[in-house]
A and B are shown apart, each in its own frame.
Chain A
Amino acid sequence: MDRSVAGRIGTTLPKLDVPVQDDPPKNLLRESLEMPELSESEIVRYLTQISTFNFSIDHNFYPLGSCTMKYNPKVNDDIAALPGFSEIHPLQEESTVQGALKLMHHLQNILADITGMAGTSLAPMAGAEGELAGMLMTRAYHQRNGDTKRTKILVPDSAHGTNPASAVMAGFEVISLNTDSKGNTDIEALKYVLSDEIAGFMLTQPSTLGLFDTNILEVVNMVRDVGGIIYGDGANLNALVGKLKPGDLGFDILHSNLHKTFTQPHGGGGPGAGAVMVSERILPFLPTPVIDRQIDKSNSEFYSFTRPEHTIGKMGAFHGNFGALVRAYAYIRTLGKQGVPKVSEDAVINANYIRTQLKGIYDLPYDRTCMHEVVFSARNLKRDYGVTALDVSKRLIDYGIHPPTMYFPLIVEEALMIEPTETESKETIDEFIDIMKKIAQEAEDDPGLLKEAPHNTPNTRLDEALAAREPDLRWNK
């Protein structure tokens, strides 16, 4: 902060309204504290100005694959800010927070119904923490059964990086599993690695290729037959809500990124919420707390915390990211049972519409019906004109659209992963398709235009190598 001027203040505080007490021991006190000194108007201008350097979903289309950048209803922010939700303290007695507990209890039930599971814990504070909870429950389940030789977890090569990282944090060894030429789990490879040392399979459905595994029932049965747990990564749940309950297929554990599917705004990298839903046999291992409902003799209801019998423990200091839970609940209430299936249907229609309209212009490594997202490859443009997925992405910025996810999944060369979501209109999607076609044409006519993109942002392309080589991570004073 190089704008400070000594003596300026950004806000005011009340005067001391109690008699002055004895000074604290001198040896405990710090000598100086160098923090910003700015007036309120300067702070507002500084932050307002830098905010305009951001692209946001409220600004325009954000087809960022695997991130489910859907529109976030404004009313939900107002609701989460109601003093009855935002001002309550996490350690208040249960009798004084019945509204909060009731909401959480309803949300537990709703999420269990949508996913076809027996119970829910809302404790994990993000998707990756939900994954960790899932892996710890897998471990606890086997240990409870005295099954201690299960030390390995299967993770497809298309999986998000969080999957192997979470499995390792839970003490497992990761076995990477190939994807076959159609984008399904490679059954032969699976047969080869299955054994009584397998604790479970971390399965993202649809996969990060945007494809639903047509071998799913066979995969589930094979893993369960050797005693393994099916863990579902719910990152792509937006393709399935209301259309399929993963629990019906035999999934034992599923996490849901409530900030993706159920509209907690992304906030430049969180907060999130990573609720975990489980089958009957995993219920005793859920992270604590779980909210319970009792009816007393006078027929009035009371909501309270319970601690599952063999719980893996607490995932955070309190009860999860309540603010995100309020938004998720509000969103599902607004859609209701009529609207929830429409979410996945429109998400899947939008993605397939893009797939069919851009096919032939960009390479389509897995040419089949996709779910909520479609993965193209820019390898044809690279081969013919030396233009990469990065160049196409940066050029999209010039047209006012956020780039897709690039270079992921890792198994697709020059990947461009596009997830439109259900909250985009046909007109927006049509415009995007036109722009993508135009960019492909530009790659042929004037590749330099793409190489130098973006042209109208506060910064041109940034030197990431320099940043990593000579870390400059703070201002000093």
Chain B
Amino acid sequence: MSADQNTDLKFTSPYTPNTKNDRAEMLKAIGVKTVDDLFRDIPENYLNPELKIPDAISEMELVQEMEELAGLNAVPGDYASFLGSGAYRHFIPSIVNRLALRSEFMTCYTPYQPEVSQGTLQAHFEFQSMVCQLTGMDVANAGMYDGSTALSEAVLMACRVTKKSAINVLDSVSPQYKEVLKTFLDAPGIKMDSLKDGMASSNESHACLIVQQPNYFGYFEDLTTLSDDIHKAGGLLIVLTDPISLGMYKTPADYGADIVVAEGQSLGISTSYGGPYVGLFACKQDYIRQMPGRIVGRTKDTNGETGYVLTLQTREQHIRRDRATSNICTSVGLIALMSTIYMISQGKQGLKHIANLCYQKAHYAAAQINDIQGYSVNLDRPFFKEFVISCPISPAKINKRLLSKKIIGGIDVSSQIKNGMLVCITETNSRQEIDSLVTALREISAEIGSDEK
């Protein structure tokens, strides 16, 4: 039997420094002959299985192969893109990645040893603070996986707080998020009612009402009435919001929200095909001991100097196990840091300015599109940066034609709104892009007209 029966000793990797000699010396010091002597606890018949994965490649070949794969994707930016629906293109200042990718931030663990983690801890404290400033809430945690799981955890928390096991969801909440809710709520047996526009109202069985503001279709809900409705029924108001909108619009707290959650991706995180993102989670002071996730607190060291630690950890799984508020452990620390840098960088003036750019451009686009024969947009109801176009034919067909004109159109929401296309305009969409969309839609409308003739 060779010393290393399963390992090709001619193979070396830059990520495994032990040489053949190192291994021999260490095995000798351990007091075994072969490396497989260390794997004797594994049933012998199962040791050293055949692997079918491909052979090793060099760094250069890897880069070439990955560039090739990346090249198969159509990149918004090369195209004019009008996709939103929970993931948004916003301009990301250089310092966001330049700072976040520093080894000290990128390659450290969860800050369980506070004396050597003050950088991460202090940044998380800034994050929590700015999430509170933005949402108007009292306290925030250091982030959840994404907006949809933040929402699911908010519901579980509302059920714990109110000791109820049914919830009410306004039907204009994102269908993707409702699907995630279903995954999280089925097992604990939480019943999900759907509240259609003014059709029914919350009742005493409801732990909470979920409202998306602006809603999935981009429009503003009457939060004042909805807030009264759920609070009279003895439930909590959960608001799912868009942090960019909060640069200019009233906060959920202004309407009496008890828990606020959001997808934080638009705060300086690239769309990255859906993740990693960061879920924002904030609530009223009264509920902090029911919150899920990590929380950073400010304290003193033995010399009386200010420092930061993970706190209220008795809520968490590593202490409380089966009675924890959530199972969440590794979350999205680095992404929370990126959004922290983004928020500091945009600051007081920038966040307002971005919100205004989105508003102005979206309203310009909506008005132009509404003027095209065959298309209409509801311009009477207030909206922010997304809106629904009622198209003359199915949005899927239109999108196909748009793609050939180097335009990525909006989301097909025709299952909810007849021939509805949900589009999003941010500050990254130039007037030229918007005008090209308008022109293309007009051309497509004319093409359909002539096709039908």
Contact = CB atoms under 8 A, between A and B. Distances in A.
A348 B312 contact: no
A464 B272 contact: no
Contacts of B16: 339, 342-343, 346, 422-423
A188 interface: no
B345 A463 contact: no
A116 B332 contact: no
Interface string B37-75: 111111100111101111111110011011111111111
Given A36-B343, A459-B305, A467-B309, A268 B335 contact: no
Among A8, A35, A268, the one with the most B-chain Cβ atoms within 10 Å of its Cβ is A268
A425 B68 CA distance: 34
A131 interface: yes
B107 A248 contact: no
A310 interface: no
A382 interface: no
A318 B274 contact: yes
A322 interface: yes
B91 interface: yes
Given A30-B251, A34-B133, A248-B49, A349 B35 contact: yes
Given A19-B364, A338-B56, A267 B302 contact: no
B125 interface: yes
A79 to B, nearest CB: 5
A314 B327 contact: no
Interface in A169-202: 169-171, 174
Interface stretch (A120-128, A222-230, A292-300, A439-447): A120-128
Contacts of B159: none
B364 to A, nearest CB: 4
Contacts of B317: 128, 160-162, 164-165
Contact of A48 (B65, B102, B347): B102
Nearest to B425: A18
Contact of A72 (B43, B107, B313, B360): B107
B347 A9 contact: yes
Given A43-B95, A316-B148, A10 B276 contact: no
Contact of A333 (B65, B331, B363): B65
Interface in A319-378: 319-324, 326, 330, 332-343, 345-346, 348-350, 352-353, 355-357, 368-369, 371
A451 to B, nearest CB: 10
A1 B250 contact: no
Interface residues of B, number: 206
A431 to B, nearest CB: 13
B103 interface: yes
Among B15, B30, B313, the one with the most A-chain Cβ atoms within 10 Å of its Cβ is B15
Contact of A422 (B18, B53, B103): B18
B37 to A, nearest CB: 8
A21 to B, nearest CB: 4
Nearest to A347: B16
Contact of A99 (B47, B73, B337, B431): B73
Contacts of B300: 462-463, 466
Contacts of A449: none
Nearest to B296: A473
Nearest to A319: B274
A91 B46 CA distance: 42
Contact of B273 (A20, A245, A322, A408): A322
B377 to A, nearest CB: 13
Interface in B176-219: 176-177, 179-180, 182-184, 186-189
A463 B130 contact: no
A248 B44 CA distance: 12
A18 B361 contact: yes
B145 interface: yes
B133 A243 contact: no
B106 A265 contact: yes
Contact of B117 (A83, A98, A268): A268
Interface in B271-306: 271-277, 288, 294-303, 305
Given A48-B99, A72-B107, A349-B38, A165 B299 contact: no
Contacts of A330: 62, 66
Among B26, B147, B348, B351, the one with the most A-chain Cβ atoms within 10 Å of its Cβ is B348
A51 B102 contact: yes
B133 A18 contact: no
Interface residues of A, number: 193
Given A271-B334, A393-B113, A20 B47 contact: no
Nearest to B40: A369
B149 interface: yes
Given A89-B89, A166-B327, A265-B334, A474 B42 contact: no
B73 A88 contact: yes
Contact of A35 (B288, B297, B347): B347
A93 to B, nearest CB: 7
Given A51-B99, A339-B13, A349-B26, A169 B326 contact: yes
B335 A271 contact: yes
A54 interface: yes
Nearest to B127: A474
Interface stretch (B241-249, B386-394, B441-449): B241-249
A88 B109 contact: no
B341 A43 contact: yes
A44 B331 CA distance: 25
Contact of B297 (A85, A97, A321, A467): A467
B47 A243 contact: yes
Contacts of B18: 346, 349-350, 422, 425-426
Contacts of A333: 54, 56-57, 62, 65
Given A55-B108, A342-B7, A397-B113, A171 B301 contact: no
B344 interface: yes
B116 A55 contact: yes
Among B107, B299, B354, B357, the one with the most A-chain Cβ atoms within 10 Å of its Cβ is B107
B343 A82 contact: no
B266 interface: no
A170 B330 contact: no
B180 A313 contact: yes
A385 interface: no
B319 interface: yes
B168 interface: no
Contacts of A86: 270-272
18 contacts: A21-B360, A28-B382, A29-B250, A36-B130, A53-B117, A85-B272, A89-B76, A96-B408, A100-B73, A129-B149, A139-B187, A171-B188, A243-B49, A269-B110, A315-B180, A320-B274, A397-B115, A425-B22
Given A244-B47, A346-B16, 8 more contacts: A126-B328, A161-B321, A266-B333, A269-B331, A272-B331, A323-B275, A423-B16, A471-B139
Question: Closest 4 CB pairs between A and B?
Answer: A84-B70, A267-B334, A318-B274, A336-B56
